[in-house]
Chains A and B, each alone.
Chain A
């Protein structure tokens, strides 16, 4: 992966900085935030080499990543809330065409959120963060396949339901692991992180209860979903607020 990242830079840049850059990549634990940062750095190097530059690449700061991650987390929570209402009102009916597409959009936002908000945690818990990222990425791919199955009208085969269910479970597990790393790191909101862990844990309890008491399982699943959505929303808001506090406008 390190070689792949290095190859994203122009050849002349690699000849000048390649050795020392590789030494840094060998020493520093890399998380999704770092990979995104290196890819943006490579884009910046290529644009500079061509005498072009964009403001986004030039003026990006650490808190921009935090802001993007925070916004993505709140957007994901909102999409999943809408999705909850949409599927709740269609109880007992087959998935509508838009459900997988909406769920895919929600997971994609979650992937952006994990990337933008993982800078602190990836330093201390790189394995947890990468596992969370991999699970949510796998869930996103499954959701995309589910959406494609919907669009291709192969709903009768039931594949879309399997893919959507897998995507949902992967998102739950990924959220729990990300919440755990965030809670341990304690730079972002610990309360929000605790909700991210509590939601999937309660959801797992509901799944265990389901074979013997379905009504109770529904009852337990409701707070689990609320915890998860509230966790992502609160984490997103806390990241945006952290950004606002630091980059407040200067007085005239």
Chain B
């Protein structure tokens, strides 16, 4: 089953930021850019956003909704939500380990 699991090898950081941004509901491209910038403090260019969105869409992690005017919202798919949760749990375990080791090394 592992071979079917989508990976984050490409656009690692932008993909993760986009998935987190979509985790609380559908958003169109510009709203994702603003959300990412406010949340992470890092500007995301439109080129990076759409390169990552196209990959996430191909992997079935996000799906487009019907456009409103020219803006097209995207939402997380069930697979996307599950992959994001797995990634975040992995990161959380890493953070816990780091903090534990830091605590042990402190006098």
Chain A residues with CB under 8 Å of chain B are 13, 17, 19-25, 27-28, 33-34, 36-42, 44-45, 48, 53, 57-63, 119-120, 123, 250-251
Q: How far is the CB of B29 from chain A (nearest CB, A)?
A: 5
Cβ 8 A contact of B51, one of A25, A44, A251: A44
Residue of A nearest to B97 (CB): A251
Chain B residues, Cβ within 8 Å of A58: 9-11
Q: Is the CB of B98 within 8 A of A21?
A: no
Cβ proximity bits B36-71 to A, threshold 8 Å, 1 near / 0 not: 010000111111111100100000000000010111
A-B contact pairs, 18 of them (CB 8 A): A13-B54, A17-B54, A19-B72, A21-B29, A22-B70, A23-B28, A23-B30, A24-B30, A24-B33, A28-B30, A37-B47, A41-B45, A41-B46, A41-B47, A44-B47, A45-B54, A62-B43, A250-B94
In the complex the two chains form, what is the Cα distance from A101 to B53 in whole Å? 42
Are the CB atoms of A38 and B45 closer together than 8 Å?
yes
Closest chain A CB from B3 CB (angstroms): 19
In the bound complex, how far is the Cα of B32 from the Cα of A220, in angstroms?
A: 49
Given contact pairs A23-B70, A251-B98, A37 touches B46 in the complex (Cβ within 8 A) = yes
Kindly list chain B residues whose C-beta atoms are within 8 Å of the C-beta of A27.
30
Determine how close the nearest CB of chain A comes to the CB of B60; give it in whole angstroms: 16
Contact flag A38-B46 (CB < 8 Å), given A19-B70, A24-B29, A28-B30: yes
Q: Which 6 A-B pairs have the closest CB atoms?
A: A41-B47, A37-B45, A23-B70, A38-B47, A37-B47, A20-B72
Residue B13 at the chain A interface, CB threshold 8 Å: yes
| Interface of A: prevailing SS | helix
Using a Cβ cutoff of 8 Å, how many contacts connect chains A and B?
87
The answer to whether A61 and B14 touch (CB under 8 A), given A23-B30, A23-B70, is: yes
Contact A120 B43 (CB under 8 A): yes
- Known contacts A20-B29, A24-B29, A120-B43: does B72 contact A41 (CB below 8 Å)? no
- Docked-complex contact B94 and A37, CB < 8 angstroms: no
Is B101 an interface residue, CB under 8 A from the partner? yes
A127 CA / B47 CA spacing, docked (Å): 21
Kindly identify which residue among A19, A21, A48, A63 contacts B46, using a CB–CB cutoff of 8 Å: A21
A45 to B11, CA, bound (A): 13
Residue of A nearest to B32 (CB): A24
A85 to chain B, nearest CB (A): 37
CB-CB nearest in chain A for B11: A58
Which of A17, A20, A33 interacts with B45 by CB under 8 Å? A33
B24 on the interface (CB 8 Å rule)? no
Contact between chains at A37 and B67 (CB < 8 Å): no
Q: How far is the CA of A37 from the CA of B43 in the complex (A)?
A: 11
CA distance A251 to B101 in the complex (A): 9
Q: Which residues of A contact B106 (CB under 8 A)?
A: none
Q: Given known contacts A28-B30, A41-B50, A59-B10, is B69 in contact with A23 (CB within 8 Å)? A: yes
Nearest CB of B to A239, in Å: 13
